[in-house]
């Protein structure tokens, strides 16, 4: 959720998050979603989200601000993305001002490359299969 957006846009983002969590709960009936780790939420979402987690039996953990070591997997992916961005910008000769487009391209490429972590499937196909 982006604090620079209007409240109704953030509320829509929050509702999508809750809906996606509900879908995850329905999709994996044999395995329970028991813990979720999130950064702090805006005050107007905290109670509603805490109630949602309590109703679903999900334990909510809050990460401490400015401690990226608490989420090593995400930090490693950020490093992978930024390495790919640097390669794209240097090899293409595109000015650094296009880093946003390079990030989008890097994420696009990573999501379509097979990963050994998911039995040599692509992340995009894995997510599409789990959602449908």
pLDDT digits (tens, 9 = 90+) for 59-117: 877 777 777 777 788 888 899 999 999 999 999 999 999 999 999 999 999 999 998 88
Q: Are strands 59-62 and 35-38 parallel, antiparallel or unpaired?
A: parallel
**Residue 42 in contact with residue 3, Cβ under 8 Å?**
yes
**Residue 2 in contact with residue 10, Cβ under 8 Å?**
yes
Domain boundaries, the chain: 7-62, 70-131
**Residue 63 in contact with residue 38, Cβ under 8 Å?**
yes
**Residue 4 pLDDT exceeds 90:** no
Kindly report whether the global pTM for this prediction surpasses the value 0.75: no
Q: What is the pLDDT of residue 81?
A: 94
**Residue 52 in contact with residue 19, Cβ under 8 Å?**
no
């Amino acid at each position: 959720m982006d604090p620079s957006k209007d409240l109704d846009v953030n509320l829509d983002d929050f509702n999508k998050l809750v809906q996606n969590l509900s879908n995850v709960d329905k999709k994996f009936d044999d395995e329970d979603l028991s813990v979720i780790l999130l950064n702090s939420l805006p005050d107007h979402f905290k109670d509603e989200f805490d109630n949602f987690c309590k109703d679903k039996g999900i334990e909510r953990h809050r990460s401490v601000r400015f401690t990226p070591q608490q989420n090593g997997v995400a930090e490693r992916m950020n490093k992978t993305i930024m390495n790919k961005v640097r390669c794209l910008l240097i090899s293409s000769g595109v000015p650094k001002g296009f880093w946003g487009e390079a990030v989008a391209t890097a994420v696009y490429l990573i999501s379509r490359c097979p990963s050994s972590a998911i039995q040599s499937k692509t992340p995009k196909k894995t997510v599409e299969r789990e959602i449908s």
